[in-house]
């Protein structure tokens, strides 16, 4: 197996892309789940405010999503640009 | 070292990894069940017999994940597989990783319904049979990710890879094992959270059992999706034939695809389970708003799912594009 410099760099970029998106997906997944669980609790306690609570949940999840999107961006950069 | 030695070595290492990792989950889950059973008995010692029986049934179900791991480990130790191809070595080690990681989530997860059912019986002895039924349904669904892992492990053990090129197929096979195995951790744990909340809910409001079970099953089904994505990526990695290439990048792209989908499935699996736990808990306390709660649960789970979808996209790009 002939291994050259360019090959090693490409291989590391591919591995890095996978690790970046894989580990980066854990945090937002758990965090957004916590938000949804608390939103269910809040609606269970006060169903009349369901609309307001849904909106707050979605905004909170969108912020929590941002680190997942950073991971995706870094993974795509590693795959196609580097 | 000749090929025969390497393949035998990876079979033994794989067996050790499968049983070693596979023992983690069920032991924690059963410990949780037993701990909650003690709390339950201290609250209501008169019905200690019922609680004890329920604890043992719950623990028996939680044990199944590590029994799968034991089966795979024993198969790899004693099965007479052809040892003339290095790919078989990669496949056996991949099978061990897959089953070992895959049993962790289901083992821990199915401890939650067992523990909550014991507590529930102490709170509401009249609902004991309903609680045991709810516990069994919930923890049976929790086992699915471990079963997916067992399917992939058995395929890797018994399939014949001898006609395929060594590189990059070795990386595809290892990636297939990691993808399903790691992704199963989140789904098993998340499904357990939902099942635990349903047992707690049934004990507080025994008449809400229908609504609670429905929401639990819907929530668990969504929590299974990350492990189904993992299974999908594994199937692609196993069945797609890759052209022979001895560059490092061709192998690393396939290994990375498996690692990406595997780790990427953990978080959304746990998150979906948390969302389902919150919804199930509050459906039991507020049955009139079950529809509203189910809707918010599904919206929340869909958002939480997005990172698993990103991970799947990156995996598929690594397999098909680069």
pLDDT tens column, B81-133: 888 889 999 999 999 999 999 999 999 999 999 999 999 999 999 999 999 99
Domain boundaries, chain B: 3-320
CATH number of B3-320: 1.20.120.610
Tokens for A38, please give them: 């608390």
Contact A19 B260 (CB under 8 A): yes
Contacts of B224 in chain A (CB under 8 A): none
pTM (two decimals): 0.94
Contact A22 B262 (CB under 8 A): yes
Domain boundaries, chain A: 5-80
Its ipTM equals 0.93
Contact A17 B315 (CB under 8 A): no
pLDDT tens column, B216-248: 999 999 999 999 999 999 999 999 989 998 899
Tell me if B138 sits within 8 A of B99, measured CB to CB: no
Backbone angles phi, psi at A81, to 5 degrees: -105, -50
SS3 B148: helix
CA B312, CA B66: separation in Å to the nearest integer?
27
pLDDT tens column, B157-214: 999 998 999 989 999 999 999 999 999 999 999 999 999 999 999 999 999 999 999 9
Query: A5-80: which CATH number, 1.10.260.30, 2.30.30.790, 3.40.50.150, 1.20.20.10?
Result: 1.20.20.10
Q: Using alpha carbons, list the distances in angstroms from residue B307 to B173, B269, B303.
A: 24, 10, 8
Query: Does residue B107 sit at the A interface (CB-CB below 8 Å)?
Result: no
Considering chain B, what is the average pLDDT of its residues? 94
């Amino acid at each position: 197996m002939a291994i050259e410099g360019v090959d090693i760099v490409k291989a590391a970029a591919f591995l890095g892309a996978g690790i970046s998106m894989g580990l980066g997906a854990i945090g937002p997944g758990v965090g957004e789940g916590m938000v949804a669980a608390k939103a269910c609790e809040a609606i269970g306690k006060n169903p009349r405010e369901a609309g307001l609570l849904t909106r707050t949940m979605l905004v909170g999840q969108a912020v929590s999503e941002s680190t997942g999107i950073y991971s995706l961006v870094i993974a795509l950069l590693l795959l196609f640009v580097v | 070292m000749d090929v025969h030695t390497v393949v035998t070595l990876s079979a033994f290492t794989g067996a050790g990894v499968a049983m070693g990792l596979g023992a983690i989950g069920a032991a924690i889950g059963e410990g949780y069940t037993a701990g909650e059973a003690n709390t339950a008995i201290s609250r209501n010692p008169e019905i200690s017999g019922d609680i004890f029986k329920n604890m043992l049934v719950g623990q028996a179900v939680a044990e199944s994940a590590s029994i799968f791991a034991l089966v795979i480990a024993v198969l790899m130790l004693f099965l007479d597989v052809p040892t003339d191809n290095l790919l078989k070595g990669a496949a056996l080690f991949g099978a061990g990783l897959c089953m070992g990681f895959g049993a962790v989530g289901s083992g821990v997860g199915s401890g939650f319904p067992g523990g909550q059912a014991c507590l529930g019986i102490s709170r509401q002895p009249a609902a004991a049979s309903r609680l045991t039924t709810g516990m069994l349904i919930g923890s049976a669904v929790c086992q699915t990710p471990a079963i997916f892992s067992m399917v992939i492990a058995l395929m890797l053990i018994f399939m014949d890879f001898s006609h395929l090129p060594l590189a990059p197929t070795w990386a595809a096979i290892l990636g297939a094992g990691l993808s399903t195995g790691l992704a199963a951790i989140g789904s098993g744990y998340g499904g357990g959270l939902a099942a635990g909340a349903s047992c707690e809910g049934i004990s507080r409001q025994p008449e809400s059992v229908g609504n609670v079970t429905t929401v639990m099953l819907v929530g668990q089904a969504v929590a299974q999706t990350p492990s189904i994505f993992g299974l999908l990526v594994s199937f692609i990695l196993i069945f797609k034939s890759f052209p022979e290439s001895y560059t490092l990048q061709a192998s690393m792209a396939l290994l990375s695809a498996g690692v990406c989908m595997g780790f990427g499935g953990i978080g959304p699996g746990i998150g979906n389970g948390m969302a389902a736990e919150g919804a199930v808990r509050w459906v039991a306390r507020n049955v009139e708003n079950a529809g509203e709660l189910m809707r918010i649960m599904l919206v929340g789970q869909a958002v939480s799912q997005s990172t698993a979808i990103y991970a799947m996209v990156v995996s598929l790009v690594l397999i098909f594009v680069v």
